[in-house]
Structure 1
């Protein structure tokens, strides 16, 4: 099995909460589904199972669920 490419998830704020990121990036259909995925231990942040749905993610954090991979990146605004 080959590892899927890591996709960038761009944020324009200092951080984003895990459940909101999953919903925004279409890894979950709803916020409720995102919460269920997290509670079931199906989401990893930086390689560790994460069960806090409101976990703050910062640029450089990596999120994985199933075969989907994201890396949080930021765009500096001037």
Structure 2
């Protein structure tokens, strides 16, 4: 599982997908959410504006598993 460090209280799912290099643009994040299964903490998520907080675990079909981590 890859750790993705954020520098704020939360990150939106579409921004997270770009930061984790699952997609190169926000538009592609929207398409990915419509086409593939993305799970947040084990539940399928389709909202690109979903707020992710440190400790949240994200699974992206075809890209792997990630965990949000706060900057120390």
Q: TM-score, normalised by structure 2?
A: 0.90
Q: Which residue of 1 aligns with 2:67?
A: 71
After superposition, residues 24-39 of structure 1 pair within 5 angstroms as 24-39=19-34
Q: Which of residues 41, 44, 51 is equivalent to 2:46?
A: 51
4+ long deviations beyond 3 Å: none
Q: TM-score, normalised by structure 1?
A: 0.83
Q: Distance in 2 between matches of 1:74 and 1:66?
A: 24
8 Å CA contact 2:36, 2:61 repeated in 1: no
Gaps of 5+ in 1: 1-5
Q: Distance in 2 between matches of 1:19 and 1:52?
A: 9
Q: CA RMSD in A?
A: 1.2
Q: Distance in 2 between matches of 1:45 and 1:53?
A: 11
Q: Which residue of 2 aligns with 1:3?
A: none
Q: Distance in 2 between matches of 1:19 and 1:50?
A: 11
